Structure 1
Amino acid sequence: MSTNTSVFPSTSFFQSDVWLFSVYLIATYEIVFWLCNGFLIYIEMFDIPSIDQYRIQKHKKKLRFQPDMVHLMIKQTIRNQISLVFLGPIFYYIFNYIGHVDIQGPRPPWSTILFQIALFILSEDTLFFWSHYLLHTPWLYKNIHKKHHVYKQPTGVTAVLSDPIEGIINQFAVWSILVLLKETHIFTICLWVTIRVYQTVMAHSGYNFPYITTQYWLPDLMPGALAHDYHHQHGKWSYGSFFSIWDQLMGTHRLSTSKKQIN
């Protein structure tokens, strides 16, 4: 009589690379997303003078969380969270179709990690700018991108307000360069997710925070919330993601006057 030493047949699945990749990817996203947004939700609900001084749109009444706003954000956030469960395995197979993602091997040298992160940032910034620029053409804005501009005073969770088509376009900008790399490590991917989620949430924060934002250190090159908050206020200009280079070349570079708060 044959014996089976495996009590739980599904154990191999939970040790598989696709499972580990999905867990690492989703866990990284969730931790960064909710740590940042938890802080932003807290300061939106309570008046803290030492923090409120950095609010960009101080000339307007504080938005607060209105019932319709809360309902929309909850709906879109839940949709965003559910999509992550399906995107994890999909991304794994896409990334491994052309290249290879190392899940359980040793971390690569920092020189390799930083080089690949630089490629991710430069690629995403270029693709995001041009896709975002096109989304502001009349037909695409009215039928797709307008959903992201529901609120002229953005806060962190409004970053997930988007049409599904725009979501696919944004994901292409974030990940397209990765499939062209021969070898990528899960550590590098998680670091990239951390950087991208943090940058996106802080750009939508509505605050010109000192020290913890790119605009504090490099306001002209990486204007962060100063540029993106201006973009939401006016519904145009400042289309970039990380850098202002494309905006400056295209004559669409605009910043909030709140830049003076951190100088």
Structure 2
Amino acid sequence: MALVAPWPSIFAFDFGRYLVAAAIVSGVIAAMPQRFLDLRRIRARLPKLKQRRREFRHSVSTALVFSIIGMGIYYGVEFGIFRVYSEIAEYGWLYGMASLVLIVAAHDAYFYWMHRWMHRPSMFRRVHRTHHLSVAPTQWAAYSFSIREALAQAAFLPAYLLIVPTHEIVLFMWMAHQILRNVVGHCGIELVPKAWLATWWGRWITTTLHHDMHHEHGRCNYGLYFTWWDHWCGTEHPEYSRRMKELIAVLDRATDVQSW
């Protein structure tokens, strides 16, 4: 029993970060004026309660898989297999900040190519179909994966930690960023401020519209945090840029939401 002693805490963390992020985004959406939601809603069709329950159920099983992998990482750190450190002085603040950028960029690259692989006809039904049952996803779909996909998603971190020394705080910040971006990307409402959407650098950040079009059309818009892999590899949906410009134009005309 001592071998599994840390598991409840690891599961509580993995499930808790999903639950907290989805609940926060749900609360933000519930607090927004209806006019704001109407302007920024990606699709007219609202998901039914049955879909949300299915998304939640699969997300619980994903958190279970993540916690099992997490327990392996825990013991791997204990035995010196994975390169996680707790003293910032060991590598310095500059390295710590750079390592946060590195893990985000590395995860984005891993996700893009893994995501494309999961959309191969031979793999889609066996691995990725569960996630795409949500054609119009909600924030609760962030971890709505099959067991196979959950394992593929979880494989990034142990592989990364075999190579790159990473501080505990950097890991926590990356995990918080990952789940928040994932939840926002599935929520069906474009929550990114208009001022960001309209900037040149905003073009390189994935938006709710970007990922929603992936669920709508399938074989396009594979990126997680950034759009550059889709740009470089020619997998961005040809209508994404036009639809984003139309959304920005609508928001420009809506004087009551200019601050967004």
* Among candidates 26, 42, 46, match of residue 56 of structure 1: 42
Q: Partners in 1 of 2:245 and 2:49 — Cα distance? A: 28
Match of 1:241, as an amino acid? L
- Say whether residues 1:240 and 2:240 are aligned partners: no
Which protein has the bigger helix share?
Answer: 2
Partner of 2:172: 190
Partners of 2:84 and 2:166 within 8 A in 1? yes
Partner of 1:111: 94
Q: Which runs of 5+ in 2 are unaligned?
A: 250-260
Change (3 A) 1:85 1:127: closer
Partner of 1:159: 142
Partners of 2:209 and 2:244 within 8 A in 1? yes
Partner of 2:56: 74
Partner of 1:134: 117
Give 1:150 shift: 0.4
Partners of 1:215 and 1:226 within 8 A in 2? no
What's the TM-score, normalizing by structure 1? 0.76
Partners of 2:15 and 2:60 within 8 A in 1? no
Partner of 2:255: none
Alignment of 1:1-263 (within 5 A): 19=6, 23=9, 26-27=12-13, 29-30=14-15, 32-42=17-27, 43=29, 48-57=34-43, 60-63=44-47, 65-67=48-50, 69-95=51-77, 97-103=80-86, 105=87, 109-181=92-164, 183-211=165-193, 215=197, 218-254=201-237, 255=240, 257-262=243-248
State the secondary structure of the residue aligned to 1:243: coil
Give 1:44 shift: 6.9
Instruction: Report how many residues are paired.
Output: 240
Change (3 A) 1:23 1:143: closer
What's the TM-score, normalizing by structure 2? 0.77
Q: Partners in 1 of 2:133 and 2:141 — Cα distance? A: 9
Partner of 1:5: none
Change (3 A) 1:221 1:22: farther
Give 1:120 shift: 0.7
Q: Partners in 1 of 2:226 and 2:184 — Cα distance? A: 14
State the secondary structure of the residue aligned to 1:248: helix
Instruction: Select between 207-216 and 222-231 the one with higher mean Cα deviation.
Output: 207-216
Q: RMSD across aligned C-alpha pairs, in angstroms?
A: 3.3
Q: Partners in 2 of 1:161 and 1:172 — Cα distance? A: 17
Partners of 2:10 and 2:70 within 8 A in 1? no
Percent of paired sites with the same residue: 20
Task: Kindly provide the CA deviation profile for residues 145-197 of structure 1, in whole angstroms up to 9, marking residues without a partner as x.
Answer: 1111001111111121212111111112345222212x322111101111111
Name the larger-Rg structure: 1
Change (3 A) 1:81 1:149: same
Change (3 A) 1:175 1:247: farther
Q: Which runs of 5+ in 1 are unaligned?
A: 1-12
Match of 1:202, as an amino acid? V
Give 1:214 shift: 7.2
